[in-house]
Structure 1
Amino acid sequence: MAYEEEKKKLRGSICPVITPFTESGDIDEKTFVELINWQIESGSHGISVTGTSGEPSSLTIAERKRVMSLAKETIDGRVFFTPGTGSTNHDETMELTKYAEEIGADAAMVIVPYYNKPNQEALYQHFKTVADSVEIPIIIYNIPGRSAVNMEVSTMKRLSEDCPNIIGVKESNKDFEHVNRVLLNCGRDFLLYSGIELLCYPMLAIGGAGFISATANVEPKKVAELYNAWNDGDIKKAQDLHFELMPLNDVLFKDTNPSPVKVALGMMGKITPKLRLPLGLPSAEIQEEVRKTLLDLSILSEETAVG
C-alpha cells in the first residue's frame, strides 16, 4: 500500500478537539458531539481527538476508546479523522492504535512518549513496532516541550524509509530549521503539520500539509480559512489571517493547554470549563486576558459573554 491517496487527502486545518467534562468530571458526550458538528460546519478539514488538547493522560483507556468511537460516529465521513493514540506506555499505544484502525480512522497520531525520555534508537523501535502492527497511516507527534525529548530528523528519516505507513509528522517544535530538515530528509511528500500556532502559516510556505492548531477549538472558521487562502494562492489573505489570529494564539497559551481554551469556550457558552486534576483553570488575570481578547476579536460581545 503506497498511501498516496491518504497523502492527498489528509491536508488542511485539523482541529484537536478538547474533551468536555461535566461539573462532576464525567465526559460530556452531548457537548462533545455538538463541538464536532460545529467544527465541521465551520470549515475544519479534519478532526483529531485525544491529543494534547483532549487531555488524554487524564482519561482511562476505556474513556479514550469511547471518545474515539463517538467522534468517528459523529464525523460520519464528512471530514477525515486522525485520533491521538500515543501514550507513555508502549502496550497502551499499541492497543489504542489498533483500536483506531478497527473503528476506521483515517490515520492515527502517535506522540513521542512523554516523561520516559527514550533515546533515539528506543524511539525508532517504539514507532516501528507500532507501525508494523497496523496498516493504518501513522502521523508522528513530535512535541519536545511536553515529552522532554525531540525526535531527531535522522530518526524520522529511518522511520519514513522503513515503515511505509508512517506518512507524516505533527511538529510542535519551535525550531524552524528542524522542520525544514524534516522535509529535506523525509521527502517533500512527507506530510508536515504545524502544532505551533505561530508557525502554521510559515510551515505552509515550505510545503507543509496543514496544521493541528488548538486555536481552531475557539476560532475554527478563520483557522480553516488561513489554509484555504494559501491553497487558493491568496497569499495576502493568508498573511492577514496569520497576523489577525496572533493575539488569540498568544492568549490561549498563557497557561497550559487546554486550560485557556476551555475558559474561552466556556465564555462562548460552548462548554462547562472543567478540567481534570492535575490540570486546573488559569488565574483570574489570565481569564480576564482571554475575555478581553475574545471581545477585541469580536468572537464574543458583551451581550453574549458567559461567566
Structure 2
Amino acid sequence: MKTGQFDEIKSRLKGSVAPIITPFQEDDSLDLETLRDLINWHIESGSHGISVTGTTGEPSSLTLQEREQVMETAIQSVAGRVPVVPGTGSTNHQETLHLTKRAQEMGADAAMVIVPYYNKPSQHALYNHFKAVAQSVDIPLIVYNIPGRTGVNLEVNTLARLKEDCPNIIGVKESNKDFEHVNRVLLNCGRDFLLFSGIELLCYPMLAIGGKGYISATANVLPGKVAEVYNAWEAGNIEEAMQLHYEMMPLNDVLFRDTNPAPLKAALGMMGKIKPRLRLPMDLPSDSIQEEIRTVLNSYGLLNKVGSEMQ
C-alpha cells in the first residue's frame, strides 16, 4: 500500500455518516425497496455518508447472505453520491474477512469493522484480528469500538499500533463514553487519524477536539439537523452548532430509552417511513416508551411531515 493511497477517501469521509436501519417487511423479510427510499432521503437531506449493517442495522439478526444484500443495495443506491461505509465485522473472524472482502468487491469506499462481541478477546488478540482483516483488503478500514456492547474496550495503545502497522486503518468510530479515552486516541494516533463519535451527546464535543464527524443513530430521524451540526462547525458557526446540539438532546435521549434500534424503528414507524419491525430477540419498546417517543416526535413536528418534506 502506497503512502497517501487513501488521502482522497479520507478527505471525503467527514460529517454525518448516517447508520441506516435495516427495514423489514411484515413477514420479517428484508425490505430493500424501503432501504433504497431511506438512502435517497438521507442524501437529499444532507447526510455526508451512508453506513449500513452497523449496530443500528441489526447485523446479528441478519444472515451472511442478507448482510451482503443490504451492502450491495446500499452501494448501488448511493451510486457514488456520498461515501458508503458498510459494517463488516462479526464475532467470527472468517465471517469478518469474507464480508470485508465482499465490501471491497462491491465497491464500498471503506469498511467499518467492529471489535468482536461476546468473545471478549485480549488486546493481543484484537491486534492480530484487525491486522489480519486489514491485510486481506486494499480498502480503508474504520475500526468500531463500542465497549458497552462488545464487553471489551480497544485500548488506545492497541489502536495506535494498528494505525502504525496497517496503512489502511484510517480511523475509528468511538462509541465510548470515556471522553479522556477519545482525546488520547488523537494524541497517540495523530491528528490525521479519522475520529468519529458513536455517542450522540458527544457528536458536537468530538468535533471540538479534532474529530472528523459522527455516526449517529439519531440521523435516522433527523438527517438534515444532524448533518447541519457539522456544516455549522465547519463553517465556523460555533454558536449555531452548539444550539443544534442542545436542540436535539431530548430526541437523542428518548431514542435510547430502550436498546438501539428498537426506539428508532418505533419512531420511523410513527413517521410513516418504515414498517416498525425488528427480528427477535429484539422487539419494539414498551407501550409507555412508545408513547414517550410519540410525544417527543410531536414536539419536533415530525408527526406532521412525511416523505421528502421531512428534514
Give the Cα–Cα distance (whole angstroms) in 1 for the partners of residues 184 and 8 of structure 2: 24
Unaligned runs of 5+ in 2: none
1:43 matched to 2:46? The reply is: yes
2:209 alignment partner AA: I
Residue 302 of structure 1, CA deviation? 9.8
Counterpart position of 1:80: 83
Residue 301 of structure 1, CA deviation? 3.2
1:3-18 mapped onto 2 (5 Å cutoff): 3-18=6-21
Change (3 A) 1:292 1:181: same
Give the Cα–Cα distance (whole angstroms) in 2 for the partners of residues 70 and 297 of structure 1: 31
1:61 matched to 2:64? The reply is: yes
1:170 matched to 2:181? The reply is: no
Give the Cα–Cα distance (whole angstroms) in 1 for the partners of residues 305 and 291 of structure 2: 13
SS in 2 for 1:300: helix
Q: 1:286 aligns with which of 251, 268, 289?
A: 289
Give the Cα–Cα distance (whole angstroms) in 1 for the partners of residues 37 and 305 of structure 2: 23
Change (3 A) 1:75 1:284: same
- Contact persistence 1:204–1:210 (CA under 8 A): yes
Provide the aligned C-alpha RMSD in A.
Answer: 1.1
Counterpart position of 2:244: 241
Q: 1:122 aligns with which of 118, 125, 128?
A: 125
1:156 matched to 2:159? The reply is: yes
Residue 297 of structure 1, CA deviation? 1.3
1:143 matched to 2:153? The reply is: no
Q: 2:104 aligns with which of 86, 101, 106?
A: 101
Change (3 A) 1:13 1:147: same
Give the Cα–Cα distance (whole angstroms) in 1 for the partners of residues 192 and 40 of structure 2: 30
Residue 5 of structure 1, CA deviation? 1.7
- Contact persistence 1:295–1:302 (CA under 8 A): no
Residue 245 of structure 1, CA deviation? 0.5
Q: Could you tell me the percent identity over the aligned residues?
A: 69
Residue 303 of structure 1, CA deviation? 10
Residue 298 of structure 1, CA deviation? 1.3
Counterpart position of 1:265: 268
1:181 alignment partner AA: R
1:89 matched to 2:96? The reply is: no
Give the Cα–Cα distance (whole angstroms) in 1 for the partners of residues 187 and 209 of structure 2: 10
CA shift digits 1:192-237 (9 cap, x unpaired): 0000000000000000000000000000000000010000000010
Give the Cα–Cα distance (whole angstroms) in 2 for the partners of residues 274 and 99 of structure 1: 27
Give the Cα–Cα distance (whole angstroms) in 2 for the partners of residues 150 and 139 of structure 1: 15
Runs of 4+ that moved beyond 2 A: 301-304
- Contact persistence 2:250–2:296 (CA under 8 A): yes
Give the Cα–Cα distance (whole angstroms) in 1 for the partners of residues 306 and 243 of structure 2: 28
SS in 1 for 2:16: strand
Give the Cα–Cα distance (whole angstroms) in 2 for the partners of residues 213 and 201 of structure 1: 11
1:185 alignment partner AA: N
- Contact persistence 1:195–1:212 (CA under 8 A): yes
Counterpart position of 1:201: 204
Change (3 A) 1:294 1:31: same
Residue 300 of structure 1, CA deviation? 1.8
Which one is further off, 7-16 or 169-178? 7-16
Q: Normalised by the size of structure 1, how large is the TM-score?
A: 0.98
CA shift digits 1:62-107 (9 cap, x unpaired): 0000000010000000111000000000000000000010011010
Q: Normalised by the size of structure 2, how large is the TM-score?
A: 0.96
1:244 alignment partner AA: E
Give the Cα–Cα distance (whole angstroms) in 1 for the partners of residues 299 and 209 of structure 2: 31
- Contact persistence 2:144–2:173 (CA under 8 A): yes
1:52 matched to 2:55? The reply is: yes
SS in 1 for 2:142: strand
1:226 matched to 2:229? The reply is: yes
Give the Cα–Cα distance (whole angstroms) in 2 for the partners of residues 121 and 269 of structure 1: 46
Change (3 A) 1:32 1:116: same
SS in 1 for 2:304: coil
Give the Cα–Cα distance (whole angstroms) in 1 for the partners of residues 301 and 197 of structure 2: 26
- Contact persistence 2:272–2:306 (CA under 8 A): no
What is the total number of aligned residue pairs between the two structures? 304
SS in 2 for 1:81: coil
- Contact persistence 2:271–2:306 (CA under 8 A): no
CA shift digits 1:106-155 (9 cap, x unpaired): 10000000000000000000000000011100000000000000000000
